[in-house]
Amino acid sequence: MADEIVSHTSLSPIGFLRRTAEVYPDKVAVVDGDRRWTYREFAERVRRAAGALRAAGVRPGDRVAYLCPNVPALLEAHFAVPLAGAVLVAINIRLSPREIAYILDHSGAKVLVADTELAAPLAPLRAARRALATVIHVRETAAPDPFAGEEYESVIARAAPADLHEMPAEERALLSINYTSGTTGSPKGVMYTHRGAYLNALGLCLEVGLGFDATYLWTLPMFHCNGWCFPWAVTAVGGTHLCLRKVEAPVVFDMIEEHAVSHLCAAPTVLIGLAQDPRAAALRLSRPLTIATGGAPPAPQVIRNVEAFGARLVHLYGLTETYGPHTFCERQPRWDGESEEGRARLKARQGVAGITALDVRVVDEQMRDVPRDGETLGEIVMRGNNVMAGYYDDPGATASAFRGGWFHSGDIAVMHPDGYIEIRDRKKDVIISGGENISTVEVEQVLYQHPAVMEVAVVGVPDEKWGEVPKAFVTLKPGAAASPEQIIDFCRERIAHFKCPKAIAFGELPKTSTGKIQKFVLREREWQGREKKVN
Amino acid sequence: MADEIVSHTSLSPIGFLRRTAEVYPDKVAVVDGDRRWTYREFAERVRRAAGALRAAGVRPGDRVAYLCPNVPALLEAHFAVPLAGAVLVAINIRLSPREIAYILDHSGAKVLVADTELAAPLAPLRAARRALATVIHVRETAAPDPFAGEEYESVIARAAPADLHEMPAEERALLSINYTSGTTGSPKGVMYTHRGAYLNALGLCLEVGLGFDATYLWTLPMFHCNGWCFPWAVTAVGGTHLCLRKVEAPVVFDMIEEHAVSHLCAAPTVLIGLAQDPRAAALRLSRPLTIATGGAPPAPQVIRNVEAFGARLVHLYGLTETYGPHTFCERQPRWDGESEEGRARLKARQGVAGITALDVRVVDEQMRDVPRDGETLGEIVMRGNNVMAGYYDDPGATASAFRGGWFHSGDIAVMHPDGYIEIRDRKKDVIISGGENISTVEVEQVLYQHPAVMEVAVVGVPDEKWGEVPKAFVTLKPGAAASPEQIIDFCRERIAHFKCPKAIAFGELPKTSTGKIQKFVLREREWQGREKKVN
């Protein structure tokens, strides 16, 4: 039908690159060290990468895995793999070889593009990966190629460029699979579609204020929820991507100043690290800097610290299953009248559904909305165009996550009277002490107010009388000192005594590759040899 | 299927209001004279209006017509009518009773909501409109109700509010029909879908920079392409709508200053009127003002005049058939190096496809792209999500407009080397003089440079030797003087002699209700009694 053709174009992020390369061919698309590519050049590299994948035998629907830090090849993959009609599997580079092998097998990836610095431990595993036909290596460092593979740059140099007009006929076609770093059981493959990525990217542009002149610093791993869809969003507006192999505070501050960075994303724990760096106080911003944070609830103190060095903070919340950001803590005009502390507390809430996300609720076990009282705990559930299409090859897990027609986040939250949600805990982190629920996040937020505390994690530990009680693991600020008793007293002055930690341990906190604190590691250590707390 | 429900929400502008009313219930949504409604109240009025339509017997798919200036009832209609599952037909208020009757009959509207000031001439026509069951009147002025109908405010006051969660199951459902003010033949009903309006509205937000704090002045008629989708776009970001019954320069300037307007839209001819007003020079902007213009190519001089009073101009181009804006003259960094005149000339081009529009071409009769030489004429064709679903109940006209799988605009343009299109003429306005094509727009742009010229239209008039030759109809600036000879000489110094007008006539120009100059009126006058030029 004529009007079908004329009035309907599949929503796909490929279209963003096509348009931007046409409209802004001479704008700088990518900066990586001394290398710079305009959008014309970036599009050409993407087209050649897609052509190279096809030449390597990749057919529509095939999976292509990448094991890379935030280098240009992985940014290009976000367009090149779908342009080849294939499905991008960007693997977390901090995973163990065994976990990587699992993901390669489960996804059935036909091609792997791996950074030479990361690839060595995989060499012994390769032979057993039967689906894996080709390994291409990305050599950005002195690390040699452990495989007898070809190098990415030479592969794309001789490839026939694909045509950016080759959009998927069906916008709900699979675009990528993002494996969750599940703390229990095997990783699950979260499926993203072209439509979902397109809409979430557009919504992001509006929510964080990405415009034509955006300069985006890649502090968030691209392997994490496809970089919260920022590869597509920044490209949609014709902004500049600044690649960053490794996040180190001095380098981040250098780049912010040198390139006049307008936007970056980071988990709260990364922001804590930045705020602690001596450079933070001396930072000179030549233009407004927006920092989007999420992945864990930021304590109000973290928000104040970031604002202290002049950045505007956008607090967002989501999961791998929601293409990253689903809610945003939208600013309200009436907050201007609040104290600095009051505002920080309001901004620490996870907020409301984004423009293109639309639907989020906090519900009880019977899927009834909890009252908007800021007190009653319930589970956050979502649905809409930026909820995943399901778990790859796992109908059981999909059905379980989607029970009742909504995606179940596993996050426990309250709904405030103004419709803002606030996370109280991961479902499995809630402490049940003498029959009372204790939100570990609430306890942590009190501990963050202590002047000596830099970072903290609270978990439940075994207790003969109460079943379990809170214990705090604390990293002190450099040079600061505090005794366990002082910290416990500090808490008891501020919250109910039963919520206060009964013990304090000092030291480094275990973290995931994306900077999330791994409470389960702390918990497992405490519960070893005991009857395991049910999770 | 569970994942169908969870991962797919129909794209519909209804969702924008639902979200904004939840997120910003206390923000001012609408200002109309002394009246102010927050988003909570606006949503409530919309819900009641939808309920009232249902109570009046409106069923899904039924058409509901509005004959109103830019008053709250018509703004509410953009949400209330689709919320009732029905189709909005916003009628151009400058049409004759005969034309209005045609639209009521052709659309088969079941309900008409009419402003009492406009409704009187319709009273004798009502009885013959068999489909029209109900007329509701909007009484904003002293004008009495000519029908024995009910008043809008009392109708919605007692209606049962509909639920904003009632989104269409199918996003390609019909949302509105906008009748073109066709200069020949009967008006055609351009069909908009929920999906198209949603995407175009989101794209607009990015293109013109609408954010949370937008204050939008309604200088563009809402009956014109549904106000270029701004009823939905402004609501999506939670901005404030300033209603305006009538566009008068002093009132516009008052409102810009009083309400710190951030955005308005207007045809070039309206901007000419604003720039000529004595208030323009004294305008004090307390915040940046963005003016989006389109509907006719603005001469570079118009762009300079608007920028002279401190506004940022966004030049866009589209048609009723493309939900209004389809292309935007996106700013390029390299233009900063141009002279003021050079920049104005670059900005007078119609530009490139918008972020959500994606596809636009300039093609010859065989649908081949014209060379990117800035010279070769071709027709602008478009396709994609913001191209109409077709003409209502007119498969013949739809097939003709969509021939070759693209929508044919009827606009003649060139493609510049940088991929920017520039309109040379409406297909029917091109003058063929002695076998040479003359772009009337090109001639007009030269005439606009003359210091005495305020507004101008060039059309072809009969000529014994050349078949036709250009004639210019000129409105001089107040107090300015120029002779026909002076103006013709001014042209001959600047463009090829065969393109220069052979005659000049001074006086007011005939215009459509949206401020477009009606060249066909001038042409018909000149060709009366002669063999009509083929169009």
Residues of A in contact with B331 (CB under 8 A): 212
Which A residues, 211 through 270, put their C-beta within 8 Å of a C-beta on chain B? Answer: 211-212, 236-237
Question: Whose structure tokens read 């000129």?
Answer: B474
Is the CB of A355 less than 8 angstroms away from the CB of B399? no
Order the strands of the B189-193 sheet from edge to edge. Answer: B150-151, B134-138, B111-115, B63-67, B87-90, B174-179, B189-193
pLDDT score for B532: 46
Which B residues, 395 through 434, put their C-beta within 8 Å of a C-beta on chain A? Answer: 398-399, 402-403, 405-407, 419
| Cβ atoms A159, A84 nearer than 8 A | no
Of B8, B205, B389, the CB nearest to A385: B8
Q: Residue B241: helix, strand or coil by DSSP?
A: strand
Residues of A in contact with B398 (CB under 8 A): 2-3
Which B residues, 464 through 503, put their C-beta within 8 Å of a C-beta on chain A? Answer: none
- Mean pLDDT check: name the lowest of A438-447, A525-534, B120-129, B234-243: A525-534
In this structure, the number of other CB atoms found within 10 A of the CB of residue B54 comes to 19
pLDDT score for A289: 96
d(CA B321, CA A41): 35
Closest CA–CA distance from residue B440 to any residue of chain A (Å): 28
Tell me which range, A494-498, A519-523, B132-136, B414-418, is most confidently predicted by mean pLDDT.
Answer: B414-418
d(CA B444, CA B487): 12
Residues of B in contact with A236 (CB under 8 A): 355
Question: Whose structure tokens read 């610290």?
Answer: A305
Is the CB of B383 less than 8 angstroms away from the CB of A419? no
Which among B376, B6, B276, B209 has a CA at the least distance from the CA of A399?
A: B6
Kindly list the averaged pLDDT for each block of 10 residues, start to end, along chain B of length 535: 72 98 97 97 98 97 98 98 98 90 96 94 89 92 83 96 92 96 74 98 97 96 96 98 95 96 92 87 91 85 85 94 96 90 90 95 96 95 96 94 94 96 85 81 89 93 88 93 94 87 93 79 85 45
Closest CA–CA distance from residue A406 to any residue of chain B (Å): 5
Nearby residues of A170 by Cβ (< 8 Å), 6 or more positions away: A10
Q: DSSP string of A133-197?
A: -EEEEE--SSPPPSSS-EEHHHHHHTSPPPPTT---SSTTSEEEEEE---SSSS--EEEEEHHHH
What does pLDDT average to over chain A?
91
d(CA B333, CA A38): 13
Is the CB of A237 less than 8 angstroms away from the CB of B355? yes
pLDDT score for B533: 46
Q: DSSP string of A208-229?
A: HT--TT-EEE--S-TTSHHHHT
Of A2, A15, A24, the CB nearest to B358: A15
Q: Residue B7: helix, strand or coil by DSSP?
A: helix
Share of chain A above pLDDT 70, in %: 97
Closest CA–CA distance from residue A97 to any residue of chain B (Å): 32
* Residue B324 forms contact with A (CB below 8 Å): no
Residue A181 has pLDDT above 70, yes or no: no
d(CA B164, CA B430): 48
Q: Which residues pair with B176 in a beta bridge?
A: B88, B192
d(CA B395, CA A99): 58
Residues of A in contact with B199 (CB under 8 A): 11
Q: DSSP string of B427-486?
A: TTT-EEETTEEE-HHHHHHHHHTSTTEEEEEEEEEEETTTEEEEEEEEEEPTT----HHH
* Residue B367 forms contact with A (CB below 8 Å): no
pLDDT score for A506: 94
Q: Residue A117: helix, strand or coil by DSSP?
A: helix
Stretch A9-32: mean pLDDT:
97
Is the CB of A7 less than 8 angstroms away from the CB of B389? yes
Is the CB of B6 less than 8 angstroms away from the CB of A407? yes
d(CA B369, CA B406): 13
H/E segment holding residue B120: none
Stretch A148-165: mean pLDDT:
94
pLDDT score for B511: 86
* Residue B139 forms contact with A (CB below 8 Å): no
pLDDT score for B161: 98
d(CA A154, CA A135): 13
Residues of A in contact with B390 (CB under 8 A): 3, 7
pTM: 0.90
In this structure, the number of other CB atoms found within 10 A of the CB of residue A401 comes to 24
Distances in whole angstroms, Cα of residue A452 to Cα of each of A236, A282, A309, A480, A517: 43, 22, 20, 5, 19
pLDDT score for A351: 97
- The sign of the CA dihedral A104, A106, A109, A113 is negative
Residues of A in contact with B24 (CB under 8 A): 330, 332
* Residue A17 forms contact with B (CB below 8 Å): no
pLDDT digits (tens, 9 = 90+) for A364-407: 999 999 999 999 999 999 999 999 999 999 999 999 999 999 99
Residue A534 pLDDT grade (very low, low, confident, very high; cuts 50, 70, 90): very low
Is the CB of A7 less than 8 angstroms away from the CB of B237? no
pLDDT score for A140: 87
Residue A184 has pLDDT above 80, yes or no: no
d(CA A519, CA A440): 10
- What type of residue is B172? R
Helix/strand/coil (H, E, C) string of A318-385? EEHHHCEEEEECCCCHHHHHCCHHHHHHHHCCCEEECCCCCEEEEECCCCCECCCCCCCCEEEEEECC
H/E segment holding residue A522: helix A519-527
pLDDT score for A295: 76
Is the CB of A212 less than 8 angstroms away from the CB of B331? yes
